[in-house]
A = this chain, B = another copy of it.
Amino acid sequence: MKWKRSERLVDMTRHLLEHPHELIPLTFFSERYKAAKSSISEDLTIVKETFEEKGTGKLVTVSGAAGGAKFVPQTTEAEVRDVIALLKDELGHSDRLLPGGYLFMTDLLGNPRIMDRVGKVFASAFADREIDAIMTVATKGIPIAHAIARHLNVPVVVVRRDSKVTEGSTVSINYVSGSTRRIQTMVLSKRSMQSGQKVLITDDFMKAGGTMVGMKNLLEEFGCELAGIAVLVEAVHHEEVLVDNYLSLVKLHGVNEKDRTIELDEGNYFTKGGN
């Protein structure tokens, strides 16, 4: 059955959105829709212009025999500001204050729509970087890692605090937690990464950056390279942060347990070269 242009556009949009950072050959579309490559090229131009105009992302088209189209998710500055405003608004509620000056964030990390938007924001910032995997530490970083990974089309690697039989043989390192100065352990399955891979590390919260340093050390242990650091919330504190070149969406300046106030600000996303 031959497809109409309008039907092709709907299905093509879906297919491209479901396969970010993947070159889809023109032949794939022309066979699927039983249409000439010239018609497919025209369709792709429409999709490309709409995606780019509305800030959905870039559509990179490659011409020639091995030609095709690749959807690269991108976020507009307005969307990033929207996501940051939403996070600041959500995190600013005084009932999030926990004893010890911690913030309850679990519900945000469990919200798939917010995670998807956060993931797209970070994936856009790192879209031009060569990235082979996203690394995070269990448990809270996992939704963010998966959200970024989906938009970049790369796997997620989860570091654990403890070794488990279902991980097979593992590599383990000790590191010093930045803020509490305690010695902690990180464990990663040997099969998780191959030497030479470029890895983006991410977490929901960063204070002194000890966990990030731990993950960096683990990368070295595997002969991998750090490709970037993405943090949802960074807590501003007196000592120097142990890592640099990280990207954050929100800064937590401080909490006042007595007045029950939470002081939040925009992270370094725009100043550190996101978008």
Closest residue of chain B to A95, judged by CB? B191
Q: Contacts of A167 on B, CB cut-off 8 Å?
A: 104, 106
Kindly specify which of A84-92, A150-158, A259-267 makes contact with the partner chain: A150-158
| Cβ A146 vs Cβ B105 within 8 A | no
State which residues 37-87 of A face B: CB under 8 Å: 46-47, 49-51, 53-54, 56
**What CA separation (Å) do A186 and B88 show in the bound complex?**
31
| Cβ A146 vs Cβ B112 within 8 A | yes
**What CA separation (Å) do A147 and B18 show in the bound complex?**
13
Query: Which one, B14, B50, B107, B116, contacts A11 given CB within 8 A?
Result: B50
**What CA separation (Å) do A191 and B111 show in the bound complex?**
14
Would you give the shortest CB distance from A163 to chain B, in whole angstroms? 12
A138 at the interface (CB under 8 A from B): yes
Closest residue of chain B to A48, judged by CB? B10
| Cβ B9 vs Cβ A9 within 8 A | yes
| Cβ A56 vs Cβ B14 within 8 A | yes
Q: Contacts of A14 on B, CB cut-off 8 Å?
A: 13, 17, 51, 54, 56
